[in-house]
Amino acid sequence: MTVISVDLSNRPYDIHVRAGLLADIGSVLAPYARDSRLLVITDENVAQAVLPKFEAALRSAGLSSAQFILPAGETGKSWAQLEQLTDWLLEQHVERSDHIIALGGGVVGDITGFAAHIIKRGCAFVQIPTTLLAQVDSSVGGKTAINSAAGKNLVGAFHQPSLVLIDPELLSTLPTRQLAAGFAEVVKYGLIDDAPFFDFCADNLDSFFAGSPDIRAQAIIRSVQSKARIVAADETERTGTRALLNLGHTFGHALEADTGFSDRLFHGEAVAAGMALAFRYSVRMGFCPAEDAERVTELLKQAGLPTSLSEAGVSAEGAALVDYMRHDKKMSAGTLPFLLARGIGQTFLSNDVALDDVAAFLDSEV
Ligand SMILES: NC(=O)c1ccc[n+]([C@@H]2O[C@H](COP(=O)([O-])OP(=O)(O)OC[C@H]3O[C@@H](n4cnc5c(N)ncnc54)[C@H](O)[C@@H]3O)[C@@H](O)[C@H]2O)c1
Ligand SMILES: O=C(O)C(=O)C[C@@H](O)[C@H](O)[C@H](O)COP(=O)(O)O
Ligand SMILES: [Zn+2]
């Protein structure tokens, strides 16, 4: 087993990564149960694909669970679902000292973490991520949120999990399109500050998608190590370091909004198109060699991901997309800091981007 620590001074926690971990999860979770019982939040697909094995593992350790099952997909991250979820937790007489279990993808993890943050003014939670995206990104770092009418993740809180348990074997039931969406956030770590990891992703793409346990484990561990390092350096995105994890997201969240936060464009797919756009915009600004932007687009395309507005199914005008960006949480005193790149592995935050120019760039892309 690989254990990665998130070294936060006042609330450090561990991430366990091991193929086959699910079978032993009962004994790992036993210390987090009250009266041998756990409160588990999941979604309808995970309830089919993973929950039976999860419950069997709990039973073998003498534990039982009560479950709240969200609808699958981004609609699960809504005010309506948050209300139902918090009502259910109260019906279950959740206590502040309880650890709520998030068993699922980023949607389950984000809303469970937010519910845990607000219920009885805060209780603990454990992340058991079941998608690639959640294993490499959303389960680590404590960003929790729901979406609102104005945009993505606009209502939320920083609330760190107590423990993250990653079993790469859970990806065996994940549809290929979801695997590719998660792969975009894996590639992101290479693009931020780890060019050799970008090369690893390119060199091992076929093995990764073919299901090589070794390559998948390496990709997950390296991603989680990057995320843990960045989060520990800037837990609440105050210094600019954590903002690096937002590469591709200012464009991506606008694309998700334009496609209605729906299965027309998954989050990871929007991030892929957003990263390709961020690299091309960096070329336009004179920061990045065109060749690097082309390599980024090529790798994402090979993974089956969208790399342009049209491939993302977006036909909106640049000005309309920029209007979504005005809700970006990085916006400060009328300026939107933008993640740009000087090349692969050389992402930086720029305060010199004019939104009118971004709109013109987007119009030139169509
Ligand atoms: N908090 C963060 O730091 C952070 C980071 C990245 C993304 N996010 C958020 O995460 C969300 C996207 O997460 P996601 O891509 O995991 O989407 P998701 O949670 O919607 O899961 C994708 C799909 O896979 C299904 N699924 C999950 N596990 C499965 C399994 N093992 N086998 C079969 N099907 C399975 C789900 O039911 C769903 O239909 C977005 O809302 C995004 O904003 C948050
Ligand atoms: O953990 C972070 O910080 C990230 O930015 C990770 C992103 O992949 C993730 O999608 C995050 O939810 C986006 O953050 P937001 O603050 O733009 O909502
Ligand atoms: Zn993301």
Task: Enter the ipTM.
Answer: 0.99
Task: Name the catalytic one among 117, 188, 267, 284.
Answer: 267
Check the annotation: does 130 bind a ligand.
Answer: yes
Nearest CA to ligand 2 atom 6: 245
Q: Tell me: the pLDDT tens digits for 168-206? A: 999 999 999 999 999 999 999 999 999 999 999 999 999
Percent residues over pLDDT 70 in the chain:
100
- What confidence score (pLDDT) does residue 159 get? 98
Could you confirm whether 246 is annotated as catalytic?
Answer: yes
159 is catalytic: no
Residue 143 annotated to the active site: yes
Question: What would the mean pLDDT of 256-261 be, rounded to a whole number?
Answer: 94
* CA-to-CA dists, residue 314 to 88, 249, 254, angstroms: 37, 15, 10
256 among annotated binding-site residues: no
pLDDT tens per residue across span 45-55: 999 999 999 99
Is any atom of ligand 1 closer than 6 Å to the C-beta of 343?
no
- Catalytic-residue membership of 227: yes
Whether 99 has a binding-site annotation, put simply, is no
Q: Greatest CA separation found in the chain?
A: 61
Return the residue whose CA atom lies nearest to atom 2 of ligand 1: 138
> Which CATH code for domain 176-365?
1.20.1090.10
Q: Which of 45, 147, 153, 246 is catalytic?
A: 246
**Contact in structure between 187 and 300 (CB atoms under 8 Å):** yes
Q: Give the domain ranges of the chain.
A: 2-173, 176-365
Q: Whose CA is nearest to atom 14 of ligand 2?
A: 246
Of the residues 77, 227, 280, 284, which is catalytic?
Answer: 227
- At residue 175's C-alpha, the angle toward residues 203 and 16, to 5°, is 70
Q: Does the annotation list 143 as a binding residue?
A: yes
Q: Is 318 in the pocket of ligand 1 (CB under 6 A)?
A: no
For 2-173, CATH gives 3.40.50.1970
Report the sign of the C-alpha dihedral through residues 14, 120, 98, 79, in that order.
negative
* 106 annotated ligand-binding residue: yes
Expressed in angstroms and rounded, the spacing between residue 104 Cα and the centre of ligand 1 is: 7
Predicted pLDDT at 149: 86
Helix (H) or strand (E) holding 223: helix 213-233
The percent of residues in the chain predicted with pLDDT above 90, rounded, is 98
CA distances from 341 to 198, 241, 282 (A): 14, 14, 6
Looking at residue 366, its pLDDT comes to 66
268: which 2 tokens?
Answer: 């990871």
* Mean pLDDT rounded to a whole number for the chain: 97
Ligand nearest to the CA of 245: 2
Catalytic residue among 237, 269, 284, 329: 237
Q: Collapsing DSSP states into helix, strand and coil, what is residue 96?
A: coil
Q: Does the Cβ of 170 fall within 6 Å of ligand 1?
A: yes
Ligand 2 atom closest to the CA of 185, numbered from 1: 8
